Structure 1
Amino acid sequence: MIRIIIIGTGNIGGHLCNAFENVPASNNILVTGYYNRAQKELSGSNAALLTDLNNLPDSDLILLAVPDDAIEKVSEQIKATKAVIAHTSGSVAMSVLQNHKNHGVFYLPQSFSSSRKPSFEDINICLESSSKEVNKVLEMVAVTLSRKREQINSSQRKKLHLAAVYMNNFVNHCYSKAEEIMEEASIDTHLLDALMRETLEKAIALSPKSSQTGPAIRNDSRTIEKHLLLLEKEDREMYRSITKSIQKTHGKKL
């Protein structure tokens, strides 16, 4: 039996806690407790709400699902233990946990929201471990959620996280800007739903680079100038920057 404690029950920690509690008993995974600063009980959890980081019950794995800038501080508050201490960050090096003998990373490159239940079986879980023994524990836990696992070191993970910011955060912001433009013109924002789906499906099927279309890659300067005139001054820089990046990527004249 692998006993798990989860520190932090926000978007990632809360979903992990619920997911681990719902795996079949045959997987020998047990969430024995969770901790959050607000001392708030987690809806749907049967695990114990823990109140003292300095006095955690015995466990085999302690997952730190806390903000990046809090990982090292929280780690230092946990007394020396034989348990594996692992964080869930994409941008923080594993070495911040080196004050504990057994440490690692349990990173899920996915966007988590409290209002949506994630499909863990579709997520590649990225692991990094300080030893073979630590990796064995992390693998045994990860396999209960997903058959997709990758061994990725801290340097690779930082680049993966950067790529995820482009793919998720930046793309989503572009969706938001598109909605703003349509709302200002009193256009139904769902008119571009099919385009959104096709863009994603084509990028997966063909690769993003080979499926690029639009005025930038065509060097359609007239259309680009028309678009710039339609934008507020503060949004023109974003449009120009993305246009230049597309043209540079595809070897077009700037």
Structure 2
Amino acid sequence: MIKVTIIGSGNVAQHLINVFLASAQIELVQVFARKKESVLHLLDFDKIVTAYTDLKEADLYILAVSDGAISTVSSQLPFVNKLVVHTSGNASITALDDKNRKGVFYPLQTFSKNKPIDFSVIPICLETENPTDFQLIDKVAKSISTAVFTINSQQRKALHVAAVFVNNFTNHLYQIGQDICEEHQIPFGILMPLIQETAQKIKTLSPQDAQTGPARRHDETTIQSHENFLTHDNQILIYKILTQSIQNHGKKL
């Protein structure tokens, strides 16, 4: 079995803890957490450590920490020449301290602590500095997912930016839609079939071919009516920017 230690206790760390505990190919040696209580509901008390000096021998150390903490945490690890990887979509592999072998183990998904997720379909993007280390993290990734990709730091940054557009920004638009519904005493749930169909369509159509609506049709009467109807400046601004972006897509500005 491959021995793995997780350093971190946030959303990504907690999902990794769950999936590794369920894997027949992985032995979860330890989890480092600043507060044991944060992960005590997931694993035994004696597997949780709060001091780096208490970390035991493992084949792989996964830093599931914030981007800003990667450099600091990796520099504080009390060992050398071990394989240490981070889970960031944005940070370069060079963010890790040079005293250990470096890699990236990036699961491309949105994680919430209390929302169960099927890890077997989550794309895991891998990068290492040498082929031997890649073979190891490739085995780890394939033990929990059927979608494993070799992605370098530049490609991963592009993926992360793209993910912000299709996930974070889209979710914010859901929030605006909910605000508009609530302002006019309409249940947000009415929009659920539309949201689901929009997501399903791009499995068979390109986003460009799936695009509909007044901006795509250049329906200026409806566009102006919507802008006049909206009562919040931020909503009007976003509506105008997205309308222009749809209409200008594919054109050189």
Determine if the TM-score, normalized by the shorter chain, exceeds 0.5. yes
Cα offsets for 1:2-49 (capped at 9, x unmatched): 11110111110011011101112xx2x111110112232431313611
Where does structure 2 lack aligned partners over 5 or more consecutive residues? none
Query: Is the CA contact (8 Å cut-off) linking 1:54 and 1:77 kept in structure 2?
Result: no
2:35 is the alignment partner of 1:38: yes
Let me know the Cα RMSD of the aligned residues.
Answer: 1.6
The aligned amino acid for 1:37 is R
Q: CA–CA distance in 1 between the matches of 2:100 and 2:42?
A: 33
2:97 is the alignment partner of 1:94: no
Q: Give secondary structure in 2 for the equivalent of 1:63.
A: strand
Query: Which residue pairs with 1:72 in the alignment?
Result: 71
Q: Which runs of structure 1 show a deviation greater than 6 angstroms over 4 or more consecutive aligned residues?
A: none
Q: CA–CA distance in 2 between the matches of 1:74 and 1:236?
A: 43
Deviation at 1:124, TM superposition (A): 1.1
Query: Is the CA contact (8 Å cut-off) linking 1:102 and 1:130 kept in structure 2?
Result: yes
What is the TM-score with the length of structure 2 in the denominator? 0.94
Query: Which residue pairs with 2:17 in the alignment?
Result: 17
2:180 is the alignment partner of 1:205: no
Query: Which residue pairs with 2:56 in the alignment?
Result: 57
Q: CA–CA distance in 1 between the matches of 2:244 and 2:99?
A: 47
Cα offsets for 1:59-106 (capped at 9, x unmatched): 110000001100110000012334210000000000111513411000
Query: Which residue pairs with 1:167 in the alignment?
Result: 166
Q: Give secondary structure in 2 for the equivalent of 1:198.
A: helix
2:245 is the alignment partner of 1:248: no
The aligned amino acid for 1:94 is I
Q: CA–CA distance in 2 between the matches of 1:160 and 1:181?
A: 31
2:193 is the alignment partner of 1:194: yes
Q: Give secondary structure in 2 for the equivalent of 1:85.
A: strand
Query: Structure 1 residues 82 and 250 mapped into 2: Cα distance closer, same or farther (>3 Å)?
Result: closer
Q: Give secondary structure in 2 for the equivalent of 1:62.
A: strand
Query: Which residue pairs with 1:139 in the alignment?
Result: 138
The aligned amino acid for 1:15 is H
The aligned amino acid for 1:7 is I
Cα offsets for 1:129-169 (capped at 9, x unmatched): 11111101101111110121000000000000000000000
Where does structure 1 lack aligned partners over 5 or more consecutive residues? none
Q: Give secondary structure in 1 for the equivalent of 2:204.
A: helix
Percent identical pairs in the alignment equals 38
Query: Is the CA contact (8 Å cut-off) linking 1:85 and 1:100 kept in structure 2?
Result: no
Deviation at 1:250, TM superposition (A): 5.2
What is the TM-score with the length of structure 1 in the denominator? 0.94
Query: Is the CA contact (8 Å cut-off) linking 2:104 and 2:126 kept in structure 1?
Result: yes
Deviation at 1:56, TM superposition (A): 1.7
The aligned amino acid for 2:95 is V
Q: CA–CA distance in 2 between the matches of 1:80 and 1:180?
A: 51
Deviation at 1:210, TM superposition (A): 0.8
Q: CA–CA distance in 2 between the matches of 1:226 and 1:3?
A: 61
The aligned amino acid for 1:145 is I
